[in-house]
């Protein structure tokens, strides 16, 4: 049965969508098949072309049920559900169906206040610092304030995702063949830490075919799985 990861949190703009796509791209690079699921009614679906994962549109309640059911029925797949800001009821629902819940937050007191509320509300969830400063003195200050403000939750904080402009490429409607190696590495790093948390062994697959392409499935049984999934997501 597939695992489902939900990326949620009440604060808008924390990086939920970027992280969802980074995770899926990284999983694809590590040989893990995944589907990035859009639930935010204010956003448009992105083209799967050129990505190492499928994308699914689940912006209605019915579509979300159908897509999660479909993903659950597939062996060795991963569903990554991208939540939307300011939707506590939806967050509760996604929390209820997830195997792993991630709460991205930035280096901001407002993000951290909201994160503490979400960590209390969702006791199984992990926090993940995103858009984390890379300039050394800024990084030190961000790490220090995280340590102070989030001390009671230190065992629920994952390694940061650095601020990195190239991550914007993943939110383009069509990414083409545009992924620079540094972005691929950032995606693999975040995926590796999440697969570790889920205790899923990483099969290194340097040149895995992209799942959205007809050549995607590596064997006949995967081929049978991709087709119905693509149809269900259409
Ligand atoms: N690691 C990163 N480095 C640099 N910029 C980033 C990073 N992650 C996200 N961003 C930028 O931050 C902005 C918000 O990101 P994103 O849309 O992923 O957040 P969100 O939580 O999904 O927002 P919303 O609540 O509106 O759904 C975007 O401009 C995105 O490009
Ligand atoms: Mg978003």
Q: Which residue CA neighbors atom 27 of ligand 1 most closely?
A: 84
Question: CA dist 110 to 10, 14, 49, 145, Å?
Answer: 11, 11, 36, 12
Assess whether the C-beta atom of 23 lies below 6 angstroms from ligand 1: no
CA of 13 relative to ligand 2 center, distance in Å: 7
Bigger pLDDT: 115 or 208? Answer: 115
Longest dimension (CA), the chain: 52
Q: What is d(CA 175, CA 28) in angstroms, rounded to the nearest whole number?
A: 15
Q: Lowest mean pLDDT of 65-69, 141-145, 202-206, name the range.
A: 202-206
Domains (range + CATH), the chain = 3-233 (3.40.50.300)
Q: What is d(CA 178, CA 50) in angstroms, rounded to the nearest whole number?
A: 8
pLDDT per position as a tens digit, 49-70? 999 999 999 999 999 999 999 9
Judged on CB neighbours under 10 Å (0-12, 13-18, 19+), 230 is: middle
Nearest atom in ligand 1 to 86's CA: 25
pLDDT value at residue 44: 92
Ligand 1 pocket, mutate which of 15, 59, 159, 169 (most atoms under 8 A from CB): 15
Look at residue 149 and give its three-state secondary structure. Answer: helix
Q: Which residues surround ligand 2, an ion (CB under 5 A)?
A: 16-17
């Amino acid at each position: 049965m597939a695992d489902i990861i939900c990326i949620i949190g009440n604060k808008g703009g924390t990086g939920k969508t970027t992280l969802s796509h980074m995770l899926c791209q990284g999983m694809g690079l590590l040989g893990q098949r995944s589907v990035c699921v859009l639930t935010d009614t204010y956003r448009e679906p992105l083209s799967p072309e050129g990505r190492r994962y499928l994308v699914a549109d689940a912006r209605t309640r019915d579509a979300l049920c159908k897509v999660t059911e479909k993903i659950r029925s597939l062996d060795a797949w991963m569903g990554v559900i991208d939540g939307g800001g300011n939707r506590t009821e939806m967050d509760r629902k996604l929390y209820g169906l997830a195997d792993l819940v991630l709460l991205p937050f930035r280096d901001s007191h407002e993000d951290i206040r909201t994160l503490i509320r979400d960590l209390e509300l969702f006791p199984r969830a992990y926090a993940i610092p995103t858009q984390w400063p890379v300039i050394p003195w800024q990084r030190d200050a961000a790490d220090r304030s995280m340590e102070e403000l989030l001390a009671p939750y230190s065992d629920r904080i994952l390694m940061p995702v650095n601020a990195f402009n190239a991550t914007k490429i993943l939110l383009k409607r069509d990414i083409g063949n545009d992924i620079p190696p540094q972005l691929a590495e950032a995606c693999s790093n975040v995926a590796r830490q999440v697969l570790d948390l889920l205790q899923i062994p990483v099969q290194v697959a340097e040149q895995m075919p992209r799942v959205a392409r007809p050549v995607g499935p590596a064997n006949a049984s995967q081929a049978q799985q991709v087709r119905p999934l693509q149809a269900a997501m259409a």
